[in-house]
Structure 1
């Protein structure tokens, strides 16, 4: 075991023991001479356990002590009275340094002192390296008179500059603030700018959209009675991919829907779609009554469902069917007024969009997104038609037409003063509530599409033009031969006058072709054409029906020699029953033409506001005096014995009118058979209503049908509107005055 540092050691040169110094570091307490220090003295000269500062201070203290000894050689001997205390405080290092310096000349063999290497960062100007201590008996120290070599001065190295903490703090703060500002700006954009996009993207999956159907407007008569209206119903549909047993499902639905089971099973077959996949929707029935739909729902059949629908209801069936028309299953107008005013009757569907839960929570979320666009119901049409009068006119026309086979008939009732169409009937007709079984020709409105050569009813226009132009007067009489040749055609009378003079009432009563041609010859072609136009021929009336025919007048440059005979008596003229009825209404209305029309007013579906139809077109044609004179002439047709229109007389009322025999034209081609007609007004002294009846029959029986049909229709009209009977009788007419 090595000896402890505080145990006495033997000097290898003398063999004596030595121990720690008591009188001073490295000194002998008995002689006062510096001695050789122990292990503690060696530690004082090694850098182990000492700081650079301590080493530096020791070297600096040593230089000062040596300088003091040179200035005062006795100071070392006398010593500082405080030295022992300082030595104690300094751990004995100062005394050791003094002892070593004093004992430097004395060398001890075998002891080697090491000097710590000066740190590289210690400045040469701050201290000098202490000369190395020599062992005893070593080389003598350098003489003081010899200069000590000094190292060349070097520029002091500065220690590496450390980072400034305050700068790092500022930089870090700025980076953190920049990060927070960036996040804040992004949040502002998300909350204020991009909110609709993100919110919409999330809410779209929770939105439920429900269509709010807009009911179609109604069509009502002048009293508000419905002719066509929409009622709520249900449609029944199938999802073929969900139907489990087609045969059983069809068998259960058949009695409720009134559709054969085989047809229903066929509709429920699976069908592929052009773009891939299978069809998941198929109508089974439309317009199903709500009670039946509830029964179907109660069956709880897989793949079968119901939904809100609309059904067009026509209470009268065939009542005014040719006027009203019908709609498709999708509530689009296809015929009649339904088609003509589809944009007015058609409503605008609304929509409700709301936020709802999923699955079992499929219900509106309280406080969630909700927006409703109300449906805008379609507007309703108020017609000038009187439902009761319309029904009666249709009944009379149907009974009279039953006498003929394959015939076509039309009847019109006009209000003289206003031009309102009070009734407009066609035969044949159809059931507008179920139009599919009917033929397209059955659905036509004969009053506006039935083009005819009006025949003798046109003579009233020729007489009126001659009166207005002064060619004739009410008292004019003319010798009437039995025939007249115009061009290459001979025109004759059915009631020959044999050259006798006839009065104007006589010519009208017996429908003299020769007398009318002679008056037209005096009138002239151009003036006759002009009055035809004034009376409304050759152009649509604009009543309101779609597809109304315009008729055609023979242009002056197309007249042949025979045209001067045919046109005045109503041939080579194309007209509709409605056009001719409007011409007679002009005579009844003191010579003023009033455009016939069907629409009285429009009722807005949104607020119920009533908007009257635009005023009808009016224009003067005859003077009141000439119109009154012409009415008197026309009275002879129903009052003179043997006249052509006696069958049209209405008991208790004076009637003015005219019979006619013409042809039916289809695409300009004359059809076999004849068109019999009668147009009249009553009461003749002050007409209120005009009724026109046209009947085409392949066998030519129309003439025997038209006048009796007029009588019934006019009689009912006068009684229906409570028109007082005529106060006097019609004047006595002389056919062949003396």
Structure 2
């Protein structure tokens, strides 16, 4: 049992151990607190510091006073430190000089030194070198209540802002944002309108559209434009360098992203299906149409052709673009982020309006025959080009119009651009002697001469400095009007024109349709050149009446001769019969213009006189004689006007109508031969075309006997 003295002695022993522990170091203590690189003295000082810290902790312990009472000591309660005392302590600690630790010799020694420096501040050495002193200023302890209040206010402000924004999004601007979101999900496709067909007068298709595919891209959905272009190029036959820019992201004029770009149109259905199976992101395939021209070169100069985008580029395809094209529709629907259509989502469709069909006055079967005859003539006569026109004299309808050489309208870009010219309406040539029928008709209409009258005609005539001669030489003697036309007398025609006067002749030229386009609907139709009387000078008074110094087109001369055949009534030529709506309704393109050229009696006299060149044995047009039919017509030889100047060679022409007793159709044939050849170049072609035309339309033969003419009186 321990006595009070023993307890007191034990307490004194413990206090002595606490105070003088430095003299009671044992071997175990030395091993424990003597790390490598540290001297025995340093270890002792470190151990002493640890004991002092432990003593201070025990003094602060709440149970220390009780323990002291048990041990026989007095219960000492440490005084409560005020805030000012704590602040002074912090300042004193901060100002306490810190001895820089000695440099350790090894890495482990330096690590132990740093650890010791953190645990125990080094003691200054007496008489030693100056030491580095670091003053530390401890931060001021913040007030936690103030920070709590500030954090609470900030959180409340954030909640108020977030709540206000939610109210704005879901109440105030909800409709606008919903509309914008829907707009971003909407995708619009163009629904191409079906292009109208071009048919002949019997409904035979000359140009029409067939089922095909078109390939397009959404640049916003294309992931790699270069790779997509490389995959599509061999299938579409389009260089990748042209496809890639189309598939790159771009903006329109209003700054909006472009979502639809055509890559190719008129693609074969099999090729389109192959592209669709590739699944290229942003590339899609839809139904389309491709233009087909089954006749290839049949009426190609008239019909024209379309481009790869389906728009007309030449001929009637371009002239009647608004009629044939129709109006494209639109299909708008919602798509997902991957570009797939959302089932049951928003969808709006504006149906495409198909274009109207265009029904021409052309007869495709007759057109084929006329082109064949004309092409043969051009080849055999070494002509540079030829043109032929066949007209219905009563209605003014052009049932055939041909040019040679021509091109394939199904493959227009594989031919020279010059072959696309429609020479029947675009060639500007001198009419030559076919102009003489107009002078004779004007003289008859003005009462200057009668059909059976004779007039004395010399072999030559002088006009200004030019002498004009007849090709059929004769002495000065009386000649009939039939004889003047049969031998194509230059002198006789100039004499009639002098009686008529230049002003009156110019007036009849304009009535005849010269000097202005016929407006038959052909793009690029030429107007020709007819000068007013005030512009005549010198030899013009002799050359113009015989068809020199005048420029016309084959279509103009065909229309003028049709007026003679139509009992003097001029009817504007027409090539379009009507337009046919998708529901079958037919709409006329307008009635042709009509005006009277000659009186009916004058026209019939002229119909009779124009038989002379064919029936007179040595007439200029005997080659056009047609068994079973009375034929009226006139040959001509002029020059080609090119760029305002005469081209070398001659333009041979033959214009006439049949049956002469009851005219039905007018045929005009022209051919430009750089080497010459005269009117006989086109005489055979005129006869063959007229024979085919009368047979095709089953025109009955003439009932009258051929007219007989006496050339000289």
- The normalised TM-score by structure 2 is 0.71
Give 1:315-464 correspondences, 5 Å limit. Answer: 315-359=294-338, 362-366=340-344, 368-405=345-382, 407-464=384-441
- The 8 Å contact of residues 246 and 261 in structure 2, kept in 1 or not, is answered as no
Q: Which residue of 1 aligns with 2:645?
A: 669
Taking a change above 3 Å as real, the CA distance of residues 271 and 329 of structure 1, as seen in their structure-2 partners, is closer
- 2:204 aligns with one of 225, 250, 262: 225
Question: Is the contact between residue 242 and residue 302 of structure 1 (CA under 8 Å) also seen in structure 2?
Answer: no
Deviations 1:412-460 (A, max 9, x none): 0000000001111011211111111222221111111100110000000
3-state SS of the aligned residue for 1:334? strand
Residue aligned with 1:694, SS: strand
In 1, the alpha carbon distance for the partners of 2:293 and 2:681 equals 30
Mapping 1:438-517, distance limit 5 Å: 438-517=415-494
Deviation per CA, 1:343-372: give whole Å up to 9, x if none. Answer: 221211111223355549x34533x43221
Q: Write the distance in 1 (CA, Å) between the matches of 2:247 and 2:197.
A: 39
2 CA distance for matches of 1:703 and 1:463?
A: 20
- In 1, distance between residues paired with 2:370 and 2:643? 28
Answer yes or no: is the 8 Å Cα contact 2:514–2:556 preserved in 1.
yes
Over 3 Å counting, the alpha-carbon distance change for 1:365 and 1:236 in structure 2 is closer
Counterparts of residues 173-322 of structure 1 (less than 5 Å): 197-235=176-214, 241=224, 244=227, 249=231, 254=234, 259=237, 264=239, 267=242, 286-298=265-277, 306-322=285-301
Query: Tell me, what secondary structure is at the counterpart of 1:291?
Result: helix
- Closer, same or farther: CA 190–511 of 1 in aligned 2, 3 Å: farther
Distance 1:382 1:702, change over 3 A: farther
Relative to structure 1, is the Cα distance of residues 274 and 513 closer, same or farther in structure 2, using a 3 angstrom cutoff?
Answer: farther
Decide whether the 8 Å contact of 2:249 with 2:258 is kept in 1.
no
The offset of 1:729, in angstroms, is 2.3
Shift of 1:574: 1.2
SS at match of 2:306: coil
The answer on 1:573 being equivalent to 2:556 is: no
Q: 1:370 and 1:531 mapped to 2: Cα distance?
A: 65
The answer on 1:657 being equivalent to 2:640 is: no
Q: What is the CA–CA distance in structure 2 between the aligned matches of 1:275 and 1:350, rounded to whole Å? A: 23
Check conservation: 1:505, 1:636, Cα contact below 8 A. Answer: yes
SS in 2 for 1:517: helix
In the alignment, the residues of structure 2 paired with residue 678 and residue 299 of structure 1 have an alpha-carbon distance, to the nearest angstrom, of: 62
The whole-number CA distance in structure 2 between the counterparts of 1:273 and 1:232 is: 29
Deviation at 1:292, TM superposition (A): 3.4
3-state SS, counterpart of residue 639 of structure 2:
strand
Contact 1:272/1:279 (8 A) holds in 2? no
How far the C-alpha of 1:477 sits from its partner, in A, is 1.0
Structure 2: segments with no counterpart, 5+ residues: 1-163, 252-256
1:633 matched to 2:609: yes
Name 1:592's counterpart in structure 2.
569
Separation of aligned partners in 2, 1:320 and 1:241:
46
Higher helix share: 2
Counterpart Cα distance in 1 of 2:705 and 2:196: 48
Deviation at 1:218, TM superposition (A): 1.4
RMSD of aligned alpha carbons = 3.0
Asked if 1:540 is matched to 2:523, the reply is no
- Which deviations, in whole Å up to 9, do the C-alpha atoms of 1:107-149 show, x marking residues without a partner? xxxxxxxxxxxxxxxxxxxxxxxxxxxxxxxxxxxxxxxxxxx
Which of these two proteins has the greater Rg computed from alpha carbons?
Answer: 1
3-state secondary structure, aligned to 1:712: helix
Structure 1 CA distance for aligned equivalents of residues 183 and 246 of structure 2: 31
Q: Alpha carbons of 1:718 and 1:217: their partners in 2 closer, same or farther (altered >3 Å)?
A: same
Query: What residue in structure 2 maps to residue 12 of structure 1?
Result: none
Q: 1:476-517 CA deviation, whole Å, 9 max, x = no partner?
A: 111221110101111001101211211111111111101111
In 1: Cα distance, 2:397 partner to 2:215 partner: 43
CA contact (8 A) 1:322 1:443 kept: yes
Matched, 1:733 2:709: yes
Q: CA deviation at 1:298?
A: 4.8
User: Residues 247 and 261 of structure 2 are in contact (CA less than 8 Å); yes or no, is this contact kept in structure 1?
Assistant: no
Distance between the aligned counterparts of 1:649 and 1:464, measured in 2? 23
Counterpart of 1:526 in structure 2 is 503
Q: State the SS of the aligned residue for 1:586.
A: helix
- Cα distance in 1 for residues equivalent to 2:228 and 2:539: 76
SS at match of 2:493: helix
Residue 615 of structure 1 aligns with which residue? 591
How many residues in Structure 1 have an aligned counterpart in Structure 2? 539
Give me the whole-angstrom Cα distance separating, in 2, the residues matched to 1:556 and 1:499: 29
Distance 1:500 1:240, change over 3 A: farther
> What is the CA-CA distance between 1:200 and the residue it aligns to?
1.9
- Please give the per-residue CA displacement for 1:54-77, whole angstroms capped at 9, x wherever unaligned: xxxxxxxxxxxxxxxxxxxxxxxx
The CA deviation at 1:208 is 3.0
